Amino acid sequence: MLLLVVFAALVAVGLFGYGDFGETLRQLANFPVTHLFAALALASLNYVLRFLRWSYYLHVLEIKLSLASSALVFLSGLAMSITPGKTGEVLKSYLLRDRTGVPVSTSLPAVVMERLTDLVAVILLGLVGLALLPTPVLVTLSVALVFCGAGLLAVTSKHSQRLVDLPLLRRWKSDLLNSHDSLRALAAPRVMLAAVGLGAVAWFCEGMALWVILQGLDSPLAMYKVLPIYAASTLVGAITTIPGGLGGTEGSMVVLLQQSGLARDVASAGTLLVRVVTLCFAVLLGLAALVWVKRIRRAPWPEPSSLRIKG
């Protein structure tokens, strides 16, 4: 954690230096507080929409949990935004197990599908600005979308069940079959459509947060130009697998903003602010929720009938 904080500080210093310390600091000092609160509200709306998707997934898997407990488990996962590819969000499955008795193998696919539908939503958001992004970025987005679809089809196919009979996997056969059933339930067309739709609107809100911040910096960039820049930068950060996308997200965002005509100091200040509003805010919310959820007395386990997966 200490190394991560140091790395984040180095990234921030790098952004300050790249945009010129004095000019970047001036941009931040003159930034309207109203725009900051508006950006935070949009980031919060992102979490609300993603929580609705999380709740929908639990409903599909028939995992019964009170709204308050479900919200705390979901928010706790935000603390794991600083892990590579957000893989630390598997924590939510363990918190669910402790609260409900549902096996990790049953709920883990919900966490996996959250990440997958987030990825698809961000890619679709990026493809909205086809003519605005560099060719390499467009190719990366398109290839990533194809791989997402192919991977999902492969994992959820009935034939993939045969893999659990391999000697290497046989010892986990029961858990793997359980996860496979959950994945198939969550990959149903109607479920996928709703999940991707919620994800797209959620990430649209975060893209709008960047636009609001740039407006506060007197940037002339239109929203339809800002959204694909935010999406592409987020994807680059995810591909690097560096915790929190640190370095990759900021670097690509500054470059794309500059290519769109913004000065270095404005691009650097905008990138710093949007990362505070999204990444830092998310981690702080997650840590607060994680501390709180650990204090709540463990709830009684549900009856086995409540652990069935809808067909």
Give residue 170's pLDDT: 55
Give residue 175's pLDDT: 66
List of the chain residues with pLDDT < 50: 299-311
Tokens found for residue 112 = 């996996």
What are the pLDDT digits (tens) for 45-99? 999 999 999 999 999 999 999 999 999 999 999 998 888 777 788 999 999 998 8
Helices within the chain (DSSP H only): 2-18, 21-29, 33-60, 67-78, 91-100, 104-127, 135-156, 173-186, 189-216, 223-240, 248-259, 264-275, 281-295
Give residue 84's pLDDT: 76
Give residue 131's pLDDT: 57
Q: Where are the domains of the chain?
A: 33-296
Q: Which of 125, 154, 123 is nearest to 141 (CA)?
A: 123
pTM of the model: 0.85
Give residue 32's pLDDT: 96
Give residue 310's pLDDT: 43
Alpha carbon distances (Å) from 35 to 22, 39, 42, 144: 22, 6, 11, 33
